[in-house]
Structure 1
Amino acid sequence: MKKIFQLLLVLPILCVLMFISCSNADEPVDQEEEVNETDYDISGVLSKFSGTGLSYAVNGNTVTFTTQDLPNHTSPYWPEANPLHADYNGTNADFRLNPNTISAQNIVFTITLNPKEATNKQATPMGPIGISRNGVVFFNQYAAGGSPLTNEINSFDQYLGHPTGQGYYHYHIEPAYLTEQFGEDAFLGLLADGFPVYGPVENGETVTNADLDNYHGHTHETADFPDGIYHYHITNQDPYLNGNGYFGTPGNISQ
């Protein structure tokens, strides 16, 4: 009888110890899940955007850029009366001036501040696909009609941009004015999905297409995102800026 009484006293203590042990075993799993959860925030690079007719406003978890799409550098595509008009002085011996001139636009991007990889990737459209830090828009790797840039490249000015027939100045390839000003490894802008665009150099090495995925980017730390982020790179080979589409989900673009 005495042994039964002692056992009845011990059983509740054992149950309490087992409960505490099970609770402690669950805690590391929850902590690990929190560590592995990706939560990008691009708010820190917004202060880098500055250009003629460019503004931005944050509203909740989005940022809205409004740009007149006017380059802050010289070009033969400015009207002759504009102080920034200058003859072509680049290095392309085959340069040919297209008949278009730069004119002010009203392009609005609404982009998430917390970009994430999209489950269903979308192709980039013709026209604006992102915005550079001086307010000039990025276009994808295709000329009008979806043809390669092979011939159109010869109409790029000394800073490697040119205007459409509607006066939209844009960069398809490296925005040379920005890489000359900020460095070839610098942050250059954002695509419409919120992921950043960087120059053609990383950690002192020239980036090639082989270093990047099908969307022309990869994930690791940068000077602006020391904890790492997916980011695109400009390279000197097709597709130059973007590959098979946006890595994330693009926001709204109106023009």
Structure 2
Amino acid sequence: MFHFYLTHDQFITVDLDLSFLKRNNKSFLLAQIDRADNAIDGFLIIIGELMNEMLYGIDRFEDELKKMTWHFHKKNETSILDKIYKRRHELLVWKSLLIPVKELKIGIEEAFLEDVNKGEIFKRTCKRIERAIELINEYEHEIDSIINLEEVISSHRGNEIMKTLTVITTIFTPLMALGALWGMNFKFMPELEWKYGYLLSLFVIVVSTIGFYGYLKMKGWTGDLLKSSKKGSFFK
């Protein structure tokens, strides 16, 4: 951050530190400013180099976003949501950095009008600003799409878990009912005297459980419950 005073012929800065321009030689930059036709172009040269630095940082952000996108596809896990929102926060920081630059562009147009609109340096700087803003907007849409996809996947998996628990509970309902019935301690229970009562009870339990599962399967209520996971799938 630095303070400045700018007119057509004067460009005065306070606390200007050019060390933040990692991609440009300080001496070369100062030489470019000295060769500028007016103070406005000199100021725009600095803003243009600032945008170069920001575009370089945005390119690095793009690389991290692509890695995260493919990691999200190959191995979707709980921690990926934290990574998604970290990228979302970084994007918010980039947008906040671009707001004052965009304001500078509009302010220069408002203050100098035709003096700058036709200049090559002004046009080049504006293109860099527009490119950065366009990239940030596109990445924002991409991250929002990833977040929406993650929410759909999480909702689907939650529904599958609930369905699994419901099916398991339903399948073992006959077992629990018969176990509760034969676990009673009434004095007169004829099944206690049967010679093959134990084997018969096991048979009834097994047949009723398998029969109930077959009924659920026939109705299609088990869905993909017993199918194996598919590698690379978002939902399995």
Q: Do these two structures clear the TM 0.5 threshold for a shared fold by scoring above it?
A: no
Which of structures 1 and 2 has the bigger CA Rg? 2
Q: Specify which structure has the higher proportion of strand.
A: 1
TM-score normalised by L of structure 2: 0.28
